């Protein structure tokens, strides 16, 4: 069964579009994901910098914040790894940069969904070909 757990429960602002994501949509998605991954770490590093600048000494707060930065990086890495290896392997958003559904399953899915198949074929997708320009699927 294919479904996207990452988007489950989110507000649907736009109408469904069966076409694959274009380059700008992918860049916007990756930029948003990168922002949410890096914002906490950058904020924590800036706080450490500010404490060093004002205090002028290496105190306990800086040690705690350094540990927090390390845990934030580890937590973000675990989240990303878990997302791409556990959730993105069963997502129907085939053009997502994180999607890891095997091409054989994508082809089977598209054969059973003629509206989506037609939209993807209009954008140049070929069901029986191995080369594909939209994503980095594994076979």
pTM: 0.69
DSSP E strands, the chain: none
Q: Rounded to 5 degrees, what are φ and ψ at 71? A: -65, -35
| Each residue's pLDDT expressed in tens, for the chain with a length of 139 residues | 566 666 677 777 777 778 888 899 899 989 998 998 899 999 999 988 888 887 666 678 888 889 999 999 999 999 999 988 988 888 888 888 999 999 899 999 999 999 999 999 998 888 876 544 454 444 3
- 50 CB neighbour count, 10 Å cutoff: 10
Q: Please say whether the beta carbons of 97 and 60 come within 8 A.
A: no
Rounded (to 5) percent helix, strand, coil in the chain: 60, 0, 40
Delimit the domains of the chain by residue range: 23-100
């Amino acid at each position: 069964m294919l479904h996207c757990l990452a988007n489950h429960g989110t507000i649907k602002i736009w109408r469904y579009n069966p076409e694959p994501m274009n380059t700008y949509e992918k860049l916007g998605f990756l930029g948003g994901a990168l922002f949410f991954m890096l914002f906490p770490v950058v904020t924590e590093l800036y706080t450490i910098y500010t404490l060093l600048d004002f205090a002028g000494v290496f105190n306990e707060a800086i040690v705690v914040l350094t540990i927090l930065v390390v845990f934030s990086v580890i937590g973000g890495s675990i989240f990303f790894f878990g997302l791409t290896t556990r959730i993105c392997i069963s997502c129907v958003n085939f053009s997502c940069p994180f999607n890891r559904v095997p091409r054989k399953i994508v082809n089977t899915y598209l054969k059973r969904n003629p509206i989506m198949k037609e939209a993807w074929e209009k954008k140049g997708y070929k069901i029986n070909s191995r080369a594909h320009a939209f994503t980095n699927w594994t076979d």
